[in-house]
């Protein structure tokens, strides 16, 4: 059984003299909404807290995870994992308060808490008699 179709190195493809393009792996993600905001979880095995970049630009959230380099001097017998960095972009709901996004990394799973702005949160209004 071979792994011919699995690329071994981050490959750059030349687009007729334009800047080389880097290939990434799309991390699987779960997104759920609650009253207060959204929670996004993305699986990026092999990425530590230091290898992570989360950016928000023009209403788009981008997560970029760099895998730690492999310190193997040996011979590869079998491989299924892809040695590419992770990257994925999400369009943000305008109700999200981008200043209050919190990121957390635990055993290769990135958890992002994306709270909604106070203005859009459901609110109970007291009725005065």
Helix (H, G, I), strand (E, B) or coil at 98: helix
User: Interior CA angle at 59 toward 51 and 23, to 5°?
Assistant: 45
> Which of positions 74-113 make contact with other proteins (CB under 8 A)?
74-82, 87-89, 106-109
Establish if 44 lies at the interface with other proteins (CB under 8 A).
Answer: yes
Say how far apart CA 39 and CA 42 lie, in whole Å.
10
Q: How far is the CB of 127 from other proteins (least distance, A)?
A: 27
User: Interior CA angle at 7 toward 2 and 82, to 5°?
Assistant: 95
Q: How far is the CB of 118 from other proteins (least distance, A)?
A: 19
Establish if 9 lies at the interface with other proteins (CB under 8 A).
Answer: no
Site of interaction with other proteins (CB under 8 A): 1, 5-6, 21, 23-24, 26, 28-35, 38-39, 41, 43-48, 68, 72-82, 87-89, 106-109
């Amino acid at each position: 059984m071979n792994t011919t179709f699995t690329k071994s190195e981050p490959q750059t493809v030349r687009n007729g003299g334009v800047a080389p393009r880097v290939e990434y792996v799309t991390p699987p993600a779960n997104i759920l909404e609650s009253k207060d905001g959204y929670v996004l979880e993305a699986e990026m095995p092999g990425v530590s807290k230091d290898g992570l970049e989360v950016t928000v630009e023009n209403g788009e959230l981008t997560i970029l995870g760099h895998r730690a380099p492999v310190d193997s001097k040996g011979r590869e017998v079998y491989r299924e994992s892809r040695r590419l960095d992770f990257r994925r972009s999400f369009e943000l709901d305008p109700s999200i308060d981008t200043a209050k996004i919190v990121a957390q990394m635990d055993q290769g799973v990135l958890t992002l808490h994306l709270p909604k702005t106070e203005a859009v949160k459901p609110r109970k209004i007291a009725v005065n008699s």
